[in-house]
Structure 1
Amino acid sequence: MSSSSPQGPATDALPGAASPEAEPRSLRLEDWLTVIVMAALALITFANVLVRYFTNSSFAWTEEISVFLMIALALIAGSAAVARDQHIRIEYFAEGGSAVRSKRLSMLGAATVALLFGVIAVLSVRVVWDDYSFGETSPGIGVPQWWYSIWLPVFSALITARAIGLFIRRSRSTVNDAAPAPQDAQP
């Protein structure tokens, strides 16, 4: 028997996945940034492999740019995960117990993430300022270091905003909305 039937819904939601209605519409920013960063990483790595294969040497700048892009990718993906409420948590505690308890733990998690990344955003501004004022340059290609470090407070502030948005959505939701989807339910 086929898993898709004409009478059934066109798409089935994965168990435990956030419903499209529950996530913010503005996640296109993170999704497109992820695509762009992944494409840049793939192109840089592929170009370096080709150069290394044909010339037995590599581009000096590829490692430095790749490390920066991987860090940016982790922060961008972290922002999307927080906005979609799919960040790391211990499911036994987060989804065990009553719906009220799950809602409160979700709100606590969002508040904690907002606090942590808010502190990182504020403190990393000083790092950017020091890189700029002392004229620090990157070790690989010698560009100003603040070109790389400026993105830490920006992406940390984005994660903070996403966590605050999640906290607000969770606080406005009813207890039935906050209840986790049953894992064993068959559509």
Structure 2
Amino acid sequence: MSSPPESGPTLDAASPLPTELPAADEPAKVPLAIEDWATVIIMGLLACITFANVLVRYFTSSSFAWTEEFSVFLMILLAMVAGSAAVARDRHIRIEYFSESGSMARRKRLSQFGAVLVAALFLLIAALSVRMVWDDYRFDETSPGIGVPAWWYSIWLPIVSTAIALRAIGLFIRRGRRDDRGAE
């Protein structure tokens, strides 16, 4: 009996690794490990807080009042930090039909245009959120669940938005340098 012709890579455990593995992160002046470790810490805090609340609810039929509010804050912060990592790694959402087609010069321009737009958006968010933080502080706003000052939560929006904008600017610069050297 003859075996069927090979029509692509096999999926069994004994097969060798594919020849094309994903590329490593591009070198950046500010290490990408900052976002990676922040993600690990935030996820660890979320897991610990949620687990503690489950245990308390199971054994006492009550819960920690602060866990829901703090968990929501951590999830929002996690999304922002992950957004920063996505921008730094050039993994943000795009329509690949447009971004991956055409000449290298067109791809470079589209990549840089996207980075400029991301930077502009997050600089605008950072600038506007500074006003929000100031208002939270000035008017002594408190959080609805546990009554801590609201600016404790809102102060992170301009900080992380600025970080995302800086990562986008860095991506813009790296894309310009990479393609000028003839890489890819």
Which band: TM-score by shorter chain?
0.7 to 0.9
- Alignment of 1:13 onto 2:6: no
TM-score by length of 1: 0.85
Q: For 1:129-168, list aligned pairs within 5 A.
A: 129-168=134-173
Q: Which amino acid aligns with 1:103?
A: K
Whether 1:44 aligns to 2:52 is: no
Match of 1:85 in 2: 90
Give 1:19 deviation, angstroms: 3.1
RMSD: 1.7
Who is 1:3 aligned against?
Answer: 16
1:142 aligned counterpart, secondary structure:
coil
1:124 equivalent to 2:132? Answer no
Greater Rg over alpha carbons, structure? 2
Structure 2 Cα separation of the partners of residues 113 and 153 of structure 1: 15
Aligned mates of 2:57, 2:64 — CA distance in 1: 8
CA contact (8 A) 1:137 1:144 kept: yes
* Pairing partner for 1:66 from 62, 71, 90: 71
Structure 2: any 5+ residue segments left out of the alignment? Answer: 1-13
Report the Cα distance in structure 2 between the residues aligned to 1:56 and 1:94, rounded to whole angstroms: 53
Structure 2 counterpart of 1:112, which letter? Answer: L
Q: Is the 8 A contact 1:124 1:152 kept in 2?
A: yes
Q: How many pairs were matched up?
A: 169
Could you tell me which residue of structure 1 aligns to residue 40 of structure 2? 35
Q: CA deviation at 1:4?
A: 4.8
Q: 1:96 to 1:4 in 2, by over 3 A?
A: closer
Give structure 1 stretches of 5+ with no counterpart.
180-187
The percentage of aligned residue pairs carrying the same residue is 66
CA–CA distance in structure 2, aligned partners of residues 153 and 4 of structure 1: 43
User: Normalising by structure 2, what TM-score?
Assistant: 0.87
> Could you tell me how far apart the structure 2 residues matched to 1:19 and 1:13 are?
9
What code does the residue aligned with 1:85 have?
Answer: D
